[in-house]
Amino acid sequence: LASAPPLALANKYFQLRPDELNPLWGNPCDDIRHRRIWSKSKWCGTLPRVLVIGPQKTGSTALYTFLAMHPALTPNLPSPSTYEELQFFNNNNYLKGLDWYLNFFPPNMSNTTQMTFEKSATYFDGDLVPRRAHALLPNAKIIAILISPSKRAYSWYQHIRSHGDAVANNYTFHTVISANDSAPKPLRDLRNRCLNPGKYSHYLERWLAEYSSHQLHIIDGSQLRSEPAAVMNTLQKFLKISPHIDYNKLLKYDAKKGFFCQAVGNDRTKCLGKSKGRIYPPMLEKSAKFLKRYYTPHNTALSKLLVRIGRPVPQWLKDELSSNG
Ligand code: A3P
């Protein structure tokens, strides 16, 4: 039996087990041997019990803000590199390891009725995310928020345009969504990033391959926008958190912003920033028609999926699937 310095040994090991090159972090508290060698200051109870997975531009920040107002829920601390989103499970932050992730959650939660939660809107359509999330957080509750995929695509295009994306600023929305496979690669990439997350059923099936449907809650993002208190009411029941909060008292419609915002006393409100609820021209009729046709098979599959798992079909989906809507 021969040995070697650690690096050489590791190289040898991964030559023999290339399938293990990509780590899959499990919960250290699931195995007493791991728990024993883990730092005394770490505690698995601080891991999030709720994940808001997005997708992007569906109202996920409003939802995150409303959840953070609940006394039983503690959000992650902000990350200097990714703002409020940790984006742990979907990119290279995952390779920074579990300690990196845990540092964003308070080490000593006051009691067990307190839960931590995290929102990263890119989790929804991240290739590896459901598997990685399930390996670490098998009992987590997963919240997805969906709006019309056509509206989502348009909002996303406006979002990256205002972030100065050169390709988006070079091409109209219609050119982006209708780009064919002979279009220049940057345009095709942009089209895919714009349209793919709206194929909701495809991504939800991936989540459902890892998590039971009882762990998944699907929010109608249009309803969150128009009736946030009703949505938060149902959500609190799903999360089984107490006390039960009446969000009618916490949120107030701000006519200037055109959205519900946090009520902060003296009839004042605290709304999300300018990047949420942007003002831009309405979508061209031809783009709306194009997208309605484009998303029909995906919306049909979503409708079937929702019926299969016993969830209501939201009004926006009925409208998208109606012939004259
Ligand atoms: P627009 O800016 O295109 O209108 P996300 O937080 O997932 O990026 O989603 C942003 C979208 O949330 C906004 O898109 C806006 O329409 C929607 N939204 C829903 N409720 C909101 C609220 N209370 N305040 C601001 N934006 C809200």
The CATH code of the domain that includes 272 is: 3.40.50.300
Which of 12, 40, 42, 57 is catalytic? The answer is: 57
Predicted structure pTM score: 0.94
Mutate to test the pocket of ligand 1, among 53, 56, 61 (most ligand atoms within 8 A of CB): 61
- pLDDT of 178-206, one tens digit each? 999 999 999 999 999 999 999 999 999 99
| Structural domain of 179 | 25-321
Residue 58 Cα to ligand 1 midpoint, Å, equals: 6
How far is it, in rounded angstroms, from Cα 95 to Cα 89? 9
Residue 2 resides in a domain: no
Sheet containing 216-220: give its strands across: 73-75, 115-119, 50-54, 141-146, 216-220
Residue 18 resides in a domain: no
Residue 149 resides in a domain: yes
Residue 15 resides in a domain: no
The verdict on the CB of residue 171 being under 6 Å from ligand 1 is: no
Residue 19 resides in a domain: no
Residue 5 resides in a domain: no
The verdict on the CB of residue 259 being under 6 Å from ligand 1 is: yes
Residue 11 resides in a domain: no
- pLDDT of 253-310, one tens digit each? 999 999 999 999 888 999 999 999 999 999 999 999 999 999 999 999 999 999 999 9
Residue 196 resides in a domain: yes
Residue 245 Cα to ligand 1 midpoint, Å, equals: 22
Count: domains in the chain: 1
Mutate to test the pocket of ligand 1, among 253, 256, 276 (most ligand atoms within 8 A of CB): 276
> Does ipTM top 0.90?
yes
How far is it, in rounded angstroms, from Cα 190 to Cα 120? 20
Active site residue 292: no
